Amino acid sequence: MSEPRTNQPTAATYFFSVHLLDPRADTLIREIDVLRQAVRIARKRWPFVIDAAVVLPNQTHMIWTLPTGDLDYAKRWRLIKSVFSRHVDGPAHRSAAQIKRKDKGIWQRRFWDHRIRDGQDFDLHMELIRRAPADKGLVKHAADWPYSSFSRHRRPSKRTIDVA
């Protein structure tokens, strides 16, 4: 006999790709401690699991699992980006629109999100994160990149991997 279906919300897992406005910038790795602190603050305020992550010079990719019934990942990213932006220097020049919006000119305004559908989709995005440093030409072997949950310099746990 099958289990009865309930209308209880379930935890959701998402892949994110978040980029700096300047594609030539190296701000994320230069200010890695600030980024880690921003993530810690967001996780303390609104908990979530980081299943995998890689921080590249001008972008980061992460897989998060949110708590059951809480799908508001946007508020978490907003907090991470704002904390980070408050503690690092922005570019020397900002547009009039950025000044009007009080935008420091560090982050792209939007980010790419994708809800993970199943185990195969999860594995595909985990591999994307694992390969990213080598694919970008930053290292020969992906495991050599120090800002990744797959780095040989870290001991990954079975489920939760925290780069913060």
Residues with catalytic roles: 147
Q: What is the DSSP letter of 87?
A: T
Give the type of residue at 103.
D
The span from the CA of 163 to the CA of 52, in Å, is 8
b/e sequence 101-122, b meaning 16+ C-beta within 10 Å:
eebbbbbbeebeeeebeeeeeb
Given a contact cutoff of 8 angstroms between Cβ atoms, the answer to whether 2 and 59 are in contact is no
